[in-house]
Chain A
Amino acid sequence: MSKDTNSYISYYNEFKDKIYHYFLYRIGLDKPLAEDLTSEVFIKAFKNFSSFDKTKKFQPWIYMIAHNHLVNHYKSAKQTVSLDDVAPYLGDSGTQAETRYEMNRVLRIIDSLPESDRDIIRFKFIDGLASREISELLGREEGAIRTQLSRSLHKLRGIINGNSNLNEDNL
C-alpha cells in the first residue's frame, strides 16, 4: 500500500468520530443517516485526497467536505431536522428529565438561529473545536471568530430568556 493511502487511513481513524458527531447533531440525531453521511464524506475525501495540500491541516479540509456534503444533503432531501429523539442521547449530561428537556429546547433554538450563528455555536460547543480551528475551517481571523461567537451566544441567551424576536413556539 502506498504512503498516501496509509496516511489517509490514519486520518480516517483520527477524524471518524468527529465527523460522525458533526453529522449526528445536525440531522436530528439520526444515527443510521449520520453513519451514511460519514461514510460518504470519507469516500469523497479519499477520491479527492490527491488535491489535498499535505502541508496544511487535515481537519479544516475534512470539515469543509462534511459541511458541503451536509448542505447538499439538505438540498436534495429537503429534510426537516427533528430533534424528537434527542433525549436518549443526553442521558449522560443530565440526570433529571427536566434538564434533558431543556437541552432539547436549547438544541432546537440553536437549530433555528441564522446560519452564521448556528454554525459557530455548533462548531464551538457541539464539535468542541477551538476558536483557532474554527477560524481555519471558516477561513476567518481568530479574533473575528471570538467576536462572532460572543454575539451568537448573546443572541442565544436572548432567545432563551424570551427577549428575542424568534418565536419559540414555531421551533
Chain B
Amino acid sequence: MANLNMRNLVKKLSSLPQAKLSRRADFKIKFSLYRLMFLSSIEKMSVSWKMIPLLTRGLSFAAIILLIFGTSSVYAYTSDTVIPGNPLYPLKLAVEKVEKVTAITPAAQVAVNEKLSDRRLKEAVNLSRTKVDASPENSEKISQKIENSITAAINNHQVAVEAKNKEQEAKNNFSENRNNQVTSIYVQENDQAQTNYLNQIKKFAETSQDQRILDKVDEAHQEMNKSNNDYELKKGNDSSNNEKQNNNNEYNNFQDKPNRKSERGQNRISSSTPDLSIPLNQNLDLPTSLNINLDIKDKEGGAYKENND
C-alpha cells in the first residue's frame, strides 16, 4: 500500500474509468421504453374510447365519413379542374347522375342537361390545354378523352332539346308560363357559351393539328345546330297550330256560352237564340264578338229575370 498514500487516494478514486452503457444495451432499454409508452398510450386511448357511448361513437364515425365524402363531392362537383383522369372525376359524375334523376320537370331537365353539356365542353377545353404539353403517348389518350367529352356534351344537348320539346308541348297546353320563358332565355345564353367552348377546342386542335378533334368539333356544331333547328321548326309549327287552336278555343267559347245560357233558360223562354255561327276561315274580331256575346247574355239574363219576376 506504499504507493497508494492518501494524497493520491482521492485522485485515484476520482479517476476511475467512467462506465458507458453499451449500444446494444442502450437499444434494448430504449426499445422496452418505447414499447411501454406505446402500450400505455393505447391503454389510455381505449379507456377514453370506451367511455363514449356506442351510439355517439357510431354517429361520430358516420359524421367523419360524411364530412370526408361530402367535402370531396362538393369539391369534385364544383371544380372545373376535376377532369377525366382525375381520381375525383367518378365522384363528380355520380353527383351529376343524382342531379339528373332529381330533375323531374321539363324545365329542370333542360337546365340540368344544358349545364352538363356546358360542363363537358369546359372539361374538353381544359383537356385541350393539358394536351399542349403532353407526351405523344399521353396526347393520344387525352384526344380520346376530349372526343368522349364532346360526345357527352352533344348527348346532353340533345336530351335538353328533347326536354325543350316537352316543355313546348306543356307551353301549348298552358298558354302562359313564366318559367318557360326564363328557361328559353337560359338556353339561348347556354348555346352561345357552348359555341364559344367549341371554338376554343377548335383553336387548340388547330394548334396541335389534331384532325380527329377538328372533325369532332364540326360534328358537334352540326349536331347542336340540327337539334336547335329541329326545335325551332317544331316550335314554329306548334306556334301556328297553337294560334289556330287558340282561335278555335275562343270560337268554341264564343259558341258555347250562348248555348249554355239558352239551355238554362230553355224551359222558361220560348224565344230561340240567334244563329251566330261564323266560318273558321273568316277573320274574327274576337273582342267584339265577345262583347256581342256578353250583350246577348245580358239581354237573355234580363229577359229571364223579367220573366221570372
Contact = CB atoms under 8 A, between A and B. Distances in A.
Contacts of B20: 17, 20-21
Nearest to A16: B21
Most chain B beta carbons < 10 A, residue from A20, A121, A161: A20
B19 A35 contact: no
Contacts, number: 101
A102 B30 contact: no
A129 B282 CA distance: 126
A99 B5 CA distance: 11
Interface in B1-37: 1, 3-4, 6, 9-10, 12-22, 25-26, 28-30, 32-33, 36-37
B12 A38 contact: no
B43 to A, nearest CB: 12
Interface in A6-50: 8-9, 12, 16-17, 20-21, 24-25, 31, 34-35, 38-39, 42-43, 46-47
Contacts of A77: none
Interface residues of B, number: 27
B9 to A, nearest CB: 7
Contact of B18 (A17, A98, A106): A17
Nearest to B29: A39
B21 A160 contact: no
Contact of A106 (B4, B15, B19, B37): B4
Contact of A25 (B16, B29, B30): B16
Contact of A20 (B3, B4, B12, B19): B19
Contacts of B1: 102, 105, 160-162
B41 interface: yes
A143 interface: no
Contacts of B37: 1, 5, 46
A133 to B, nearest CB: 15
A36 B12 CA distance: 28
B21 A90 contact: no
B33 A93 contact: no
A1 B144 CA distance: 50
Interface in A96-135: 98-99, 102-103, 105-106, 121, 125-126, 128
A9 B1 CA distance: 44
Contacts of B21: 16-17, 20, 35, 38
B152 to A, nearest CB: 51
Q: Which 9 A-B pairs have the closest CB atoms?
A: A125-B13, A35-B25, A21-B19, A102-B4, A20-B21, A24-B19, A39-B29, A92-B17, A157-B6
